[in-house]
Structure 1
């Protein structure tokens, strides 16, 4: 199960992985399977793992006082998921992370010093820095989109950047991720279908 992670690291780093590095990765990462709707993390828990998705899909969300879900992140194969603030500060999370499909993960725990040891691997560290930069840019772009662009434009961008999301997640989750109502999303999708035909 570690093979997809090794390939991923090698694709995102210029440093090679040595046999010792691969052995440490095999020792450090814990395989985990989640059923659909099973939680990886629940609000109020401290996040103990950074998770690499081998197969499946997850969503990260909050629930407001009225019981409405607000989706922050959607993740699929070869993506990472966790609450980084809770993980690093060891504070209770405000997020839920659950599987939207049958999901296979590789978990990197903070306990037993594995996180620190894996980060010393040059290829892993290089990959992590690139991912941090990409994540920062993606968050900036998403905030800008939410503040300055129409729902139609946000949907257009989603179809270009992550078309697989539209196949893997239902409309109500996509709508929440875009920060719009289900009705607005339904209208936009209907207009897009009319244009395409």
Structure 2
């Protein structure tokens, strides 16, 4: 992927929500930093403060936490053209509760909070863009919480494959199970029942 193509995916994603002029695009490209991560590389460790917003250009990341018994729980996936972060850590400037890890070789465009704050001044549309993205993230999180409390595992899986078919095809089934809050064996049973 060429340098122009890398930035065009970011610019196109931003333009889906806000209007940018040529100068805006140049300023955005100047402050987003290209980062490549190897498969299994930890991008953010629990306990670090999340200081970057990350846009996935290629590859796949996951954010997850590990409980006291050592069990992993996947909170979010980040696939091509998605944003991923420990948003609570970023917004509150407190230690991250989650790890963020590359599941395959992954390219991201990231921006440090200080540069983003300056970008909000220079390109006001970016402040609106991130407000909309954070609102959508909040709504999605609320919806996921309600689903986990009120819907069966089968219903949650059906919603997952309806809304995130590309993720299901990109990550191992045990990670989908972790995201849904069920065991891999339970997910296997659900999938067999649905294919009957």
Bin for the TM-score computed over the shorter chain: over 0.9
Give SS of 2:135's match: helix
User: Does residue 178 in structure 1 map to residue 180 in structure 2?
Assistant: yes
Residue 45 of structure 1 corresponds to: 48
Question: 1:156 deviation in Å?
Answer: 0.5
Out of 105, 108, 113, the position equivalent to 2:108 is 105
Q: Write the distance in 2 (CA, Å) between the matches of 1:55 and 1:119.
A: 26
Deviations 1:74-122 (Å, cap 9, x if unpaired)? Answer: 1111111111222233221111000112111001102xx3111222323
Residue 129 of structure 2 corresponds to: 127
In structure 2, stretches of 5+ residues that fail to align are 1-5
Residue 82 of structure 2 corresponds to: 79
User: Does residue 70 in structure 1 map to residue 76 in structure 2?
Assistant: no
Runs of 4+ in 1 over 4 A off after TM superposition: none
Deviations 1:102-147 (Å, cap 9, x if unpaired)? Answer: 111001102xx31112223233222222212211111111011000
Q: TM-score, normalised by structure 1?
A: 0.92
Give SS of 2:161's match: helix
8 A Cα contact 1:50 1:108, kept in partner = yes
Residue 118 of structure 2 corresponds to: 117
Residue 190 of structure 1 corresponds to: 192
User: Which sits farther off after the overlay, 81-90 or 65-74?
Assistant: 81-90
How many residue pairs get aligned? The number is 190
User: Considering only aligned residues, what root-mean-square deviation do their CA atoms show, in Å?
Assistant: 1.2
In structure 1, stretches of 5+ residues that fail to align are none
Question: 1:174 deviation in Å?
Answer: 0.3
8 A Cα contact 1:61 1:96, kept in partner = yes
